[in-house]
Structure 1
Amino acid sequence: MLRAVIFDVDGTLIDSVPQHAKAWQDAFRDFGHDFPLEDIRRQIGKGGDHLLPVFLSEAEIEERGEALEKHRAEILKTRYLPTIKGFPEVRALVERLLADGRHLALASSAKADELQTYKTIAGIADLIETETSSDDAEASKPDPDIFEAALDRLDGIAPDEAVVIGDTPYDAEAARKAGLRTIGLLGGGWTAEELMQAGCIATYRDPAELLAAYDRSALGAPAM
């Protein structure tokens, strides 16, 4: 029985992965590093705790990692946030889930203040009350902390009664560690094959395609 749905946000509900990648690239450049955009894009979905070690030494992270992350956040806000849009039919999908009695939560590697903005961009700020961000977890995805925090807030719902909707292998890996299944969406730039290999039970192009296939998807399972 499906009682709850836990949504990732970036690349799942809002079309923001290119902007995040560019903000990181700009920040790295300002700190003296020039990394290919595609290499950075494939790390989006992780928090800074997992992304920075891919590119920087432990010593540099210790010395300048916090400052670089703050700089990245400011770049995203001032240069790229105005270009971020919600994917089609996000609100309609959320409303359908609520009408079917599902409990909903957001579980994002974003900071809490960023997450509030993203809810507004997605058009669901008034629909979802339960959420967890990187501020609620010791480690970001692909560690399971954020999804485990979401489950804790969905009081009384077991992992096998919930499903995650995400867009990266890191979502699927983190969900699996928390005992959750994952539906993959392609908005983050990963292929369906890559998401299935990471453990997704099914993939769809975007929320609109998932909504169109709702009754045939894992979301169409009877609620308790």
Structure 2
Amino acid sequence: MSRVDRENRAALFDVDGTLADTNHLHIASWWEALRQAGHSVPMHAIHRAIGLPGEDLLAHLLGEGRDRSEDAALSAAHDTLYGTYFDRLPRLDAADELLRTLDRRGWRVVLVTSAGSAELDALRRAVDADDAITATASSDDVERGKPAPDPVHHALELAGAPAHRSVFVGDTVWDMKAGTRAEVTCVGLLCGGIPLLDLEEAGARAVYRDPSDLLDRLDQSPFGVEPARTGTGRSPEGSHAR
């Protein structure tokens, strides 16, 4: 067996909007938290910021010159509002089957998320595939969250896998930028509501509609071939969903 054959392969997954259909719940929760504090921020702008850690999301929406003393209260308000959905977070179709299939094929599945512990517990209950998950890398574990590569680097360490043998699946430009900077192969999903072109321009090598579509075409996806040594590049012909 060659050295490459002995190397672990990591299947890295964002959770919100990628495995669970929760992005618009976050949008509504952030919109209401901001509204209660007197900030008028359009939902489409919040949508584009979903996937960033809370402090970075607020900086993106309110600017670096905002009153930072509000940050903790705004994040707490969002968490309280979003927490009302914890008992009914919806899993995206076939997300659990996708993780289990990759696990059976020898991939080490690691979740890469900005969710806190209580939120992550609720998301894992929704996805219901803990038997296939090797580890979880949170933005709480690193100095900088997505789009910095730090969470992806941490996930690779947890999986014991090199970047060139790993694939990161996400639904936002922040996911694609983090994966590209960490030099893993990036796969985008449209189920988070971000356009295909935006995901490709941020580094997605291939884009699919949702976990079910990726599972259906797994053998033709980056999971079915030896991952490239970089996360950059356009989608292979025929591998993306319109």
Sort the TM-score into its range (normalised by shorter chain).
over 0.9
Counterpart mapping for 1:70-149 below 5 A: 70-78=76-84, 80-149=85-154
Residue-by-residue CA offset, 1:145-172 (whole Å, 9 max, x unaligned): 11111111112x1100101000011101
TM-score (norm 1): 0.93
Name the aligned partner's letter for residue 219 of structure 2: D
SS of the equivalent of 2:152 reads helix
Q: Which has the higher contact order (CA 8 A, sep 6+)?
A: 1
The aligned residue for residue 36 of structure 1 is 42
Partner deviation per Cα, 1:167-202 (whole Å, 9 max, x = no partner):
011101011111111100011101111111111000
**3-state DSSP class of the match of 2:131?**
coil
Query: How many angstroms does 1:67 deviate by?
Result: 1.5
The C-alpha deviation readout for 1:123-153, integer Å capped at 9, x for no partner, is: 2133213001121122211111111111111
For 1:179, the equivalent position in structure 2 comes to 183
Q: TM-score normalised to the size of structure 2?
A: 0.86
1:20 maps to 26
**C-alpha distance 61-69 of structure 1, shift in aligned 2 (>3 A):** farther
For 1:39 and 1:26, locate their aligned partners in 2 and report how far apart those are by CA, in whole Å: 14
CA distance in 2: counterparts of 1:128 and 1:111, whole angstroms: 17
Q: How does 1:139-178 map to 2 (within 5 A)?
A: 139-155=144-160, 157-178=161-182
**Alignment partner, residue 198 of structure 1:** 202
Q: C-alpha displacement at 1:74, in angstroms?
A: 0.7
Q: What corresponds to 1:189 in structure 2?
A: 193
Runs of 5+ unmatched residues, structure 1: none
How many percent of aligned residue pairs carry the same amino acid? 34
What amino acid maps onto 2:59 in structure 1? P
Matches of 1:138 and 1:148, distance apart in 2: 12
Find 1:55's aligned residue among 50, 61, 79. 61
Of the three residues 5, 8, 17, the one matched with 1:11 is: 17
1:5: how far off?
A: 0.5
